[in-house]
């Protein structure tokens, strides 16, 4: 049986070289991805100006077809759905319970505030896996500057933090170089130009089966 070669042990020098290679490929990939998407959209519009939903084919010769899979991204207007009455559902004989599916979503902010005993119970209900790590090379954070801006923000009634690792939904963080960041209700960060006009964080209400109106 063929043995696998032993795993290479990284030295600081080798690791730094690989870090440079990775960063170069990351930048190349971003450029290529954007270019490919733009070209794909242009070709799709040119060769399939009125596509049907699903698979579309065009004979391009040489025994090959150009295949386009046309899809639509459909989202639900929750406010509009909530305004539908039981009378409307009954009149149109809509299969309401089969038409819209309400599934439980974890509110991360509430989860983070649970006690260790509560988390142990809830964790048994969750499928928790490590996501692919985000890795980037960015200018060094001005920690002292961030602290100053956080204090200034608090004085203006803005929930500013000087440590992004301790931020919660609704908090703002200034990275010390003039860029403000805002924590969304799903824990993700977004860049904002002015913390005074950033969108408010709104938790989605718990959804259940629809009650008759």
What does the pLDDT look like over 111-150, one tens digit per residue?
Answer: 999 999 999 999 999 998 887 767 776 666 544 544 555 5
User: 182, 190 in Cβ contact below 8 A?
Assistant: yes
The more confidently predicted of residues 168 and 20 is 20
How far is Cα 31 from Cα 100, in angstroms, rounded to an integer?
39
Strand boundaries in the chain, DSSP class E: 54-61, 64-70, 172-174, 180-183, 189-192
Confidence at 159, pLDDT banded by 50, 70, 90: low
Residue 58, pLDDT score: 93
Sheet containing strand 172-174, edge to edge, reads 172-174, 180-183, 189-192
Q: Tell me how far CA of residue 206 lies from CA of 93, 102, 104, in angstroms.
A: 26, 9, 8
Element at 109 (helix H, strand E) = helix 108-112
Residue 195, pLDDT score: 64
Residue in 12, 195, 186 with CA at minimum distance from that of residue 106: 186
The more confidently predicted of residues 92 and 6 is 92
pTM tops 0.75: no
Confidence at 32, pLDDT banded by 50, 70, 90: very high
Please report, rounded to a whole number, the percentage of residues in the chain having pLDDT higher than 90: 41
The more confidently predicted of residues 8 and 104 is 104
Residue 101, pLDDT score: 86
Residue 125, pLDDT score: 92
Residue 170, pLDDT score: 74
Mean pLDDT lowest among 19-23, 47-51, 160-164: 160-164
Residue 203, pLDDT score: 39
């Amino acid at each position: 049986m063929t043995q696998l070669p032993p795993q290479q042990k990284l030295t600081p020098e080798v690791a730094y070289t690989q870090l440079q290679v990775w960063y170069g490929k990351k930048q190349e990939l971003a450029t290529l991805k954007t270019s490919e998407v733009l070209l794909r959209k242009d070709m799709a519009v040119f060769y399939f100006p009125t596509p049907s939903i699903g698979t579309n084919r065009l004979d391009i010769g040489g025994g090959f077809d150009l295949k386009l899979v046309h899809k639509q991204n459909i989202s639900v207007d929750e406010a509009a759905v909530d305004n539908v009455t039981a009378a409307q559902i009954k009149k149109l004989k809509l299969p309401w319970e089969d038409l819209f599916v309400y599934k439980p979503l974890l509110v991360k902010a509430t989860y983070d505030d649970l006690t260790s005993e509560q988390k142990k119970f809830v964790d048994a209900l969750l499928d928790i896996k490590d996501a692919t790590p985000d890795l980037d090379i960015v200018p060094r954070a001005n920690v002292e500057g961030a602290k100053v801006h956080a204090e200034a923000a608090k004085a203006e009634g803005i929930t500013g933090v000087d440590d992004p690792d301790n931020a919660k939904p609704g908090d703002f963080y200034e990275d010390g170089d003039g860029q403000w960041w805002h924590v969304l209700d799903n824990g993700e960060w977004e860049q904002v130009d002015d913390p005074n006009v950033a969108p408010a964080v709104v938790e989605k209400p718990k959804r259940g089966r629809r009650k008759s109106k």
